[in-house]
Every structure is written in C-alpha cells, then in structure tokens.
C-alpha cells in the first residue's frame, strides 16, 4: 500500500489543485480505475498492469 500511495502522490496529487472534494474524488477515481489499473505497468507484477496480471492468472 505504501508504494501505491507514493505513486499516487508523485503522479497525481502533487500536480493537481482541487477546488472541491467532488473534483478530487473524480480525479482519484480516474487515476485508479483508468490509469493505475489498466495502463501503468507494475514491476512487481512482471511489468504487467494489474488488470492484465489478473486476467493471466
């Protein structure tokens, strides 16, 4: 989990300036569901995305 939150902070949160909680929630959802789970390669998963890793199992 620490690795995930480090990535989240470096790749998203420090580059954004949210005006509302809803804006932050939407941005975080898009990061996790669209980018992190489907596009971002994970070295701990053999350089697969989490979705590809689960499908291969």
What is residue 13's predicted lDDT score, i.e. its pLDDT?
Answer: 86
- pLDDT greater than 90 at residue 1: no
What is residue 2's predicted lDDT score, i.e. its pLDDT?
Answer: 86
How far is Cα 24 from Cα 8, in angstroms, rounded to an integer?
12
What is residue 7's predicted lDDT score, i.e. its pLDDT?
Answer: 87
Instruction: Note the pLDDT tens digit of each residue in 11-48.
Output: 998 889 999 999 999 999 999 999 999 999 999 999 99
Q: State the alpha helices, DSSP H only, in 1-57.
A: 2-11, 21-29, 50-56
What is residue 27's predicted lDDT score, i.e. its pLDDT?
Answer: 95
- pLDDT greater than 90 at residue 4: no
């Amino acid at each position: 989990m620490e690795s995930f939150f480090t990535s989240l902070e470096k790749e998203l949160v420090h580059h954004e300036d949210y005006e509302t909680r809803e804006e932050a929630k939407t941005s975080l959802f898009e990061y996790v569901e669209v980018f992190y789970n489907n596009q971002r390669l994970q070295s701990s998963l053999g350089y697969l995305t989490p979705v590809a890793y689960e499908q291969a199992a």
